[in-house]
Chain A
Amino acid sequence: MTILINGKATPFDGATLADALNANGYADTVVATAVNGTFVPADARSDFAIKAGDQIEVLAPMQGG
């Protein structure tokens, strides 16, 4: 299936949000996640099921004013 990670169409054959992060270079990173506009805490990623077309946002610390 195809999902969107930070707006980019991405092939995905896993099951959970944790799978999606691990498969796309986010293992061991300091990030926060949201799926379809809803915050998903880190401790819920392993149980959070991903379906085709889901929009995943992966955010990290960045410069800000």
Chain B
Amino acid sequence: MLSVYGTELSSRLMLGTAQYPSPAILADAFAKSNAGIATVSLRRESGQDRAGQDFWSLIQSLGVQILPNTAGCHTVKEAVTTAHMAREVFGTKWIKLEVIGEEDTLQPDVFGLVEAARILSEDGFQVFPYTTEDLVVADRLLNAGCEVLMPWGAPIGSGLGLNNTFGLRAMRAHFPDVPLVIDAGLGLPSQAAQAMEMGFDAVLLNTAVAKAGSPADMAHAFALALEAGRAAYLADPMEPRDMAAPSSPVIGKAFLS
């Protein structure tokens, strides 16, 4: 079982809660996904509508662990302050740390990310950093106190899958004992299966499920893909080769020409 910061996770799927057509569809998708963690955010609350209060009740009813994010933060100060606010509201030391550096790709500002991770780790947070596959940045994040890393597959919401399999394979090989979660960019279950086959420990996704025609069915499809990919990884896949190799025996073949 996957363990992060001393907590055993019941599932290798972390699922976002944004962009669903309705609260009921969100709840149905979670039920079909078997996700063990729900990501949430903090946004301005109206004293009249109190929309956040109903949403919070819904999330609590899902029976999953809560991973609040710092989505939309562009500076260390914004991210650190948001993390403190999230810790109070959600009652958890976990924080999915996002420090965005570029608007078109929503690429992490890895310099700010490392600094914010250090500040928050020293303050008792358990940081889940949304990062790139850069090995040097990964090392700095671990030195800053992170015990899990969440490299992007592709830009958030793009559905492009694993853009840099070379870099991700290198990251997996370089940090064999660190929980690695593919966060962002997945669009199809096959891409999640690929991540699991490569040895990644879990995936975090949102848009691929929420924006599917049938979110609950897509959530189920991702659950199956994760299971298949993980099983394949544990089964120790064969090494690919450039040239053909006959699978039927050559010895004993009839001479018929």
Contact = CB atoms under 8 A, between A and B. Distances in A.
Interface of A: 5-7, 24-26, 29-34, 37-39, 41-42, 57-65
B132 interface: no
B56 A60 contact: yes
Contacts of B157: 65
Contacts of A59: 42-45, 52, 85, 89
B178 interface: no
Q: Which of A38, A60, A65 has the most B CB atoms < 10 Å from its CB?
A: A65
A57 B68 contact: no
Contacts of B47: 5, 24-26, 29, 58
Identify the 3 closest CB pairs spanning chains A and B, nearest first.
A25-B47, A60-B52, A64-B41
Interface in B29-67: 39-48, 50-53, 55-56, 59
B interface, by DSSP: helix, strand, loop or mixed? mixed
B71 interface: yes
B45 A29 contact: yes
A25 B86 contact: no
Contacts of A26: 45, 47
Given A24-B47, A60-B43, A30 B52 contact: yes
A65 B206 contact: yes
Q: How large is the interface on B (under 10, 10 to 19, 20 to 34, 35 or more residues)?
A: 35 or more
A62 B55 contact: yes
B40 A64 contact: yes
Interface stretch (B11-19, B135-143, B212-220): B11-19
B156 interface: yes
B89 A60 contact: yes
Contact of B53 (A30, A34, A42, A65): A30
B20 to A, nearest CB: 8
Contacts of B156: 65
14 contacts: A6-B45, A26-B45, A32-B84, A32-B86, A58-B45, A61-B41, A61-B56, A62-B51, A62-B55, A63-B40, A64-B16, A64-B18, A65-B156, A65-B207
Contacts of A30: 52-53, 56, 89
B81 interface: yes
Contacts of B44: 6-7, 57-60
B52 A61 contact: yes
A61 B55 contact: yes
Given A37-B77, A65-B156, A42 B55 contact: no
B56 A65 contact: no
A61 B89 contact: yes
B52 A31 contact: yes
Contact of B88 (A42, A62, A63, A65): A42
B19 A61 contact: no
Nearest to B69: A64
A37 B80 CA distance: 11
A33 B207 CA distance: 29
